[in-house]
A and B are shown apart, each in its own frame.
Chain A
């Protein structure tokens, strides 16, 4: 009966599609070859989590590596997206993209729906076609046994845009700020686990699934909190960038089964002759690929499970560099219950020719700034040598060690002095 209920609107959609099939002349067909396969990701505490994920096989069969989240898909509004899904898992999978139109052929077994969309059997390959694409940020994810396959890692971001150059959406009179200089995708998800008293350690849902124990997902709670598949501090590599003077569109997605609250705020100094400080936060301009009538400013953003948000980080008025925290206000800031970790990263705000990394100063690359780095820097100063990692003077308004930049390229005693302050804890940059 459930199958019948699903089939009737399917027929309706087919008819609707037939009437709308005249696509715009400029629309292209974008094709991705994705492979659903077993893989693994490694947490900052070296825990290896087996995953089911998507790999980009566009370069050839089995050429891609499974990643979580899956590869970012890009297309333009009005395009047709064809995903050739090849399934190397032992269970059927499918792909749905909430907010994008697919002509679905749901699969049922014994009257029970198994897949919301065209199911690809284990070992098979099949094409899924989404058309015409709507502008915005979307989540592609498994449409089969979601409660299990999403926690396993079968999801990824789809970015549709820009339509007109630099516009996330056609602007409106009351929500005009849709133009951006650069974009960053921040996909939130998590890894579930249970504490095994016999083994005296956490066992992930993924491990139990791969071991074939048919686990009950209700018995698992969140152990690792991920942004783009990584927990802090791995989230810093490569991290999020939003240079001063630019508008950066943050495409924020939640592929987990939980609600999160990304919080981003800060203060920058403008470019006036006497720089003035300004507090800033994000402006959420769209939700689920729908432009708001009015943008919503706020320091924390509500990001429920399955939701996508487009948030503008407008640093166009900024004249100073910055390093701004992004953190989950619902406290998903741990790796296996240990702080710091989780859904925490920083927006690096400096220009393409600058390097203001707060981790500069580690001249010998041992992971910390200490007296040895100071001595190495002094040697370089005396010998007229250069190392970009030691180039920390001047410190910017925000306290970041931006250095002299490419034009300077020389180390002075000021660099060594700043490093000395850093090494003995007087300078926090």
Chain B
């Protein structure tokens, strides 16, 4: 291989890395906020993970500030408990469309539509928008939680075509955060603008103070209730498609609906690897939502799961168990100090059930890895799980870890810091691993030594989140694809590299 060819290859690799979806991952729930929304039902095409173009029907945000682009799934509504919400639906499809809001308190009429008053001519389960017509729905978001909306018309066709979307209702005590909920990127050559490198400002112990600061999924049962507090939240809407059905809808011909069989499986309307691309990616104009959960070690990550398909999916995640705290917007956990029962459960595979939602809290602390993820003993890092690598447990500093509660170590149980010898790979050796930090240690986010790697925009550990029905991590019979994405555990930024709020010099801990 001559030098010029090698140079081209290196350039190509560099280009691929820059274009790598992971290095621009986004950490929040994308959606619409407010109390008044304009939807238009129309058709469009999505791009499946293998490049197939499939017809779908969806909703477009056609409010004055909306994109107007039809999307799969429909726009996520992010509401606040107690809000009275109006959705005006315009219909550009050739058949009536209506909207159901299960779990919402409907104020506008819920009367089903029977054409001509004939029982056999049921058109919609709710008031409908006729083709080129409109219909207005008004409801009250009575209860915090995760919900969905879906068409109430010709459901066997319209729900398979994509006429649904997610609803997040935040509790009345929820306060918007002063900074965007964006994971800080690595302070390296590929870093995002400095605005995004500020450490996430939430302080967990303040979530449930009397002023109700920060993110809770549900109203706390009392001031000490931490069970639904979270640092970051993500929404995952599962759905499926049978490409033969979509083709039949587009081109006609013969199709037997009783033989409908899914062959594409979606998280937030995308198949892997597109699940990991940026939200609002220019190459996926009708699929604006990604599925790329990111978190710092120890953060509580609320994952809101919705199944808008018709099949059951085992949603499996690596890295840790998560705690299911609510189903269909009904809280399962209560404060252990209170008299109520705690019905939450731990699982590493949550069953996604058609028409149901589930809220889970995931935390990754590095527990039981057997090595100090920061390789900096005896310093104690935020929310670090120390029991298995020799650091002193400080219960007065560390917040409770609800899933992997660290045992209070006795001196006899203390392990020496484990110094795993690390030979940093050379640049040629790590081109395939764009997110390899150059070390098994998570550490703090900082640039690698010059010449060592450099392809590590997030420096994190990546764990697969996917359907454990392995058939469903394919795109039309090709692995990998389908319901598959990665969860990134991203190091906290190294305080040595810049000013950080709330760093207590005495304890080297981030203090509330």
B109: Cβ under 8 A from any A Cβ = yes
With A294-B343, A428-B111 known as contacts, the answer to whether A361 contacts B117 (CB < 8 A) is yes
A208: Cβ under 8 A from any B Cβ = no
Which residues of A (190-226) have their CB < 8 Å from a CB of B?
193, 195, 202, 221-223
Q: Does B258 contact A223, Cβ atoms closer than 8 Å?
A: yes
Q: Does A325 contact B112, Cβ atoms closer than 8 Å?
A: yes
Q: Does B110 contact A266, Cβ atoms closer than 8 Å?
A: yes
Q: Does B341 contact A294, Cβ atoms closer than 8 Å?
A: yes
With A299-B355, A359-B119, A369-B116 known as contacts, the answer to whether A281 contacts B156 (CB < 8 A) is no
* Residues of A with C-beta under 8 A to B412: none
A140: Cβ under 8 A from any B Cβ = no
- B119 closest partner in A (C-beta): A233
B32: Cβ under 8 A from any A Cβ = no
A101: Cβ under 8 A from any B Cβ = no
Q: Does B258 contact A259, Cβ atoms closer than 8 Å?
A: no
- A266 closest partner in B (C-beta): B110
B24: Cβ under 8 A from any A Cβ = no
Min CB gap A388→B, angstroms: 15
* Residues of A with C-beta under 8 A to B356: 261, 298-300, 302
B69: Cβ under 8 A from any A Cβ = no
Cα–Cα, bound, A294→B327 (Å)? 14
Number of interface residues of B (CB under 8 A): 49
Cα–Cα, bound, A202→B160 (Å)? 23
Which size class do A's interface residues fall under?
A: 35 or more
Q: Does B156 contact A331, Cβ atoms closer than 8 Å?
A: yes
Q: Does A333 contact B256, Cβ atoms closer than 8 Å?
A: no
Cα–Cα, bound, A368→B118 (Å)? 5
Q: Does B310 contact A298, Cβ atoms closer than 8 Å?
A: no
Partner of B114, one of A265, A293, A333, A358: A358
With A323-B111, A399-B109 known as contacts, the answer to whether A369 contacts B117 (CB < 8 A) is yes
Q: Does A298 contact B330, Cβ atoms closer than 8 Å?
A: yes
Partner of A398, one of B104, B110, B330: B110
* Residues of B with C-beta under 8 A to A422: 117
* Residues of B with C-beta under 8 A to A359: 114, 117-119
Q: Does B111 contact A367, Cβ atoms closer than 8 Å?
A: no
Cα–Cα, bound, A354→B278 (Å)? 57
C-beta contact mask, B114-139 vs A, less than 8 Å → 1, else 0?
10111111110101000000000001
Cα–Cα, bound, A327→B312 (Å)? 17
Partner of B110, one of A236, A267, A298: A267
Min CB gap B139→A, angstroms: 8
B82: Cβ under 8 A from any A Cβ = no
A429: Cβ under 8 A from any B Cβ = yes
Query: Chain B interface: which of A1-9, A72-80, A334-342?
Result: A334-342
Report which residue of B112, B258, B343, B354 has the largest number of chain A beta carbons within 10 angstroms of its beta carbon: B258
Q: Does B106 contact A277, Cβ atoms closer than 8 Å?
A: yes
C-beta contact mask, A94-126 vs B, less than 8 Å → 1, else 0?
000000000000000000000000000000000
Partner of A259, one of B117, B123, B257, B312: B312
Q: Does B103 contact A44, Cβ atoms closer than 8 Å?
A: no
Q: Does A279 contact B104, Cβ atoms closer than 8 Å?
A: yes
With A279-B142, A281-B328, A339-B156 known as contacts, the answer to whether A299 contacts B103 (CB < 8 A) is yes
A152: Cβ under 8 A from any B Cβ = no
- B114 closest partner in A (C-beta): A358
Q: Does A279 contact B106, Cβ atoms closer than 8 Å?
A: yes
* Residues of A with C-beta under 8 A to B343: 294
B259: Cβ under 8 A from any A Cβ = yes
Cα–Cα, bound, A222→B105 (Å)? 34
With A298-B330, A358-B117, A368-B116 known as contacts, the answer to whether A428 contacts B259 (CB < 8 A) is no
- A322 closest partner in B (C-beta): B110
Cα–Cα, bound, A148→B118 (Å)? 36
Q: Does A327 contact B102, Cβ atoms closer than 8 Å?
A: no
B140: Cβ under 8 A from any A Cβ = yes
B353: Cβ under 8 A from any A Cβ = yes
Partner of B355, one of A233, A329, A361: A329
- B130 closest partner in A (C-beta): A425
Q: Does B155 contact A277, Cβ atoms closer than 8 Å?
A: no
A362: Cβ under 8 A from any B Cβ = yes
Partner of B258, one of A222, A281, A300, A398: A222
A297: Cβ under 8 A from any B Cβ = yes
Q: Does B111 contact A261, Cβ atoms closer than 8 Å?
A: no
Q: Does B127 contact A337, Cβ atoms closer than 8 Å?
A: no
Partner of A300, one of B127, B157, B355: B355
Which residues of A (377-424) have their CB < 8 Å from a CB of B?
398-400, 422
Q: Does B355 contact A261, Cβ atoms closer than 8 Å?
A: yes
Report which residue of A44, A193, A334 has the largest number of chain B beta carbons within 10 angstroms of its beta carbon: A334
* Residues of B with C-beta under 8 A to A399: 109-111
With A323-B111, A323-B112, A428-B111 known as contacts, the answer to whether A267 contacts B117 (CB < 8 A) is no
The 5 A-B pairs with the shortest beta carbon distances in the complex, nearest first, are: A329-B355, A369-B117, A300-B355, A368-B116, A337-B257
- A residues near B, CB below 8 A? 44, 174, 193, 195, 202, 221-223, 232-233, 236, 259, 261, 263, 265-267, 277-279, 281, 293-294, 296-300, 302, 322-325, 327, 329-331, 333-334, 336-337, 339-340, 344, 346, 358-359, 361-362, 367-370, 398-400, 422, 428-429
13 sampled A-B residue pairs with Cβ under 8 A: A233-B122, A266-B106, A267-B107, A298-B328, A298-B330, A298-B356, A299-B102, A300-B353, A300-B355, A340-B121, A361-B117, A368-B118, A398-B110
